[in-house]
Amino acid sequence: MALLVLLTVLGGIGLLVAGLIMKRRDEDAAIADALGMVPASFGEEREETLSAFTGRAVDLAGQAVAAMDKKRSLGVLLDRAQIPLRPGEFVIVIIAASLGLAAVLMLAFGQLLLAAAGAMGVPLIAARVVRRRVAKRTKAFCAQLPDALSLIASSLSAGHTFLRAVQMMCEESPPPLSEEFSRLVAETRLGDNVTEALGRMAERLQIRDLDMVVQAIRIQQTVGGRLADLFHTLSDVIRARDEVKREVLVLTAEGRMSAYVLAGLVPVLFMLMRFVNPDYLVPLYSGTGLFVLIGCGLSVVAGLFVILRMVKIDV
């Protein structure tokens, strides 16, 4: 009971801090939208007008993350996923969700092991969600980039400046491409160099096609030439690479499906045998059987990883 009360209190405090953080973020987003501004970089350190307790908790979490994450990979990942939280705030939210879930599981089932498993599962699920969001945004950006380059090239041919062409493209394109290039336009309006802003965007997004575009622009500014023709050429090259990528995905689809089927076959058969004849699996629940069960699970995971790596071909 004392443990349940402690988890409930800690979870409530964490959820309160998370609520204050999210409320402040919503207010910042509303103000930025009303002023027609791009929100500040989510990975940058800046002052927050939160309560003293919330600000202190965020600062302590941020210092802990900075001490363990020297390369600021968490901040970059949150920035790429467009999650409006700093690393310290993200950690606070995850801790609050973990404690809250642990308290709920403890109250519902009374099992400490289940509550601990639920608390440890929240960070894993959160990391998976963030990475899936990054992958989804990256895929959408890559799909929109060739058309965006063609649109910019057409605007340049019509006599517009590069920044005006990018701004017109942002008005016509959907997110996430319009969000990233709008941020570039906002940075240049604040006095930043176009090439440097493009370089930061390419470093932040970590997309090979965008790196190629930035390098081509830098070379063009050094040796000269028609930027519109360069963008048309880059658009054609990126479309050709996309066709090759899709062809590779088609050719490797059988291997990926085989990996998923073989990996899913083991747990399906295990559950089927447990349902048909439960006593048959009793020796696996104790003694040497546990090591056999764990080894089987590890071998399945290792086999899935190996097959997926074999069919993963970079183009």
Q: Kindly state the DSSP code that residue 173 receives in the 8-state scheme.
A: S
> Are 215 and 167 part of one and the same domain?
yes
Residue 71: inside a domain: yes
* Host domain of residue 197: 138-241
Q: Kindly state the DSSP code that residue 41 receives in the 8-state scheme.
A: P
pTM of the entire structure? Answer: 0.72
Reported as a single tens digit per residue, the pLDDT across 92-125 is 888 888 887 887 777 777 777 777 888 888 888 9
Residue after which a domain boundary falls, among 187, 215, 241? 241
> Are 151 and 236 part of one and the same domain?
yes
* Residue 70: pLDDT over 60: yes
DSSP-derived 3-state class of residue 83: coil
* Residue 88: pLDDT over 50: yes
Average pLDDT of the residues in 82-99: 82
Structural domains in the chain (count): 3
Range in 51-55, 80-84, 210-214 with the lowest mean pLDDT:
51-55
- Residue 152: per-residue pLDDT: 92
CATH number at residue 175: 1.20.81.30
Average pLDDT of the residues in 124-136: 91
**Calpha distance 207→209 (Å, rounded):** 6
* Residue 104, C-beta contacts closer than 8 angstroms, at least 6 positions apart: 118
- Residue 145: per-residue pLDDT: 92
Reported as a single tens digit per residue, the pLDDT across 33-52 is 544 444 444 444 444 444 55
Reported as a single tens digit per residue, the pLDDT across 229-244 is 989 999 999 999 889 9
> Are 10 and 88 part of one and the same domain?
yes
Q: Tell me the H-state helices in the chain.
A: 2-35, 52-68, 73-80, 87-109, 112-157, 162-172, 177-189, 194-205, 208-223, 227-251, 253-276, 288-310
Residue 160: inside a domain: yes
Residue 129: inside a domain: no
Identity at 278, one-letter amino acid code: P
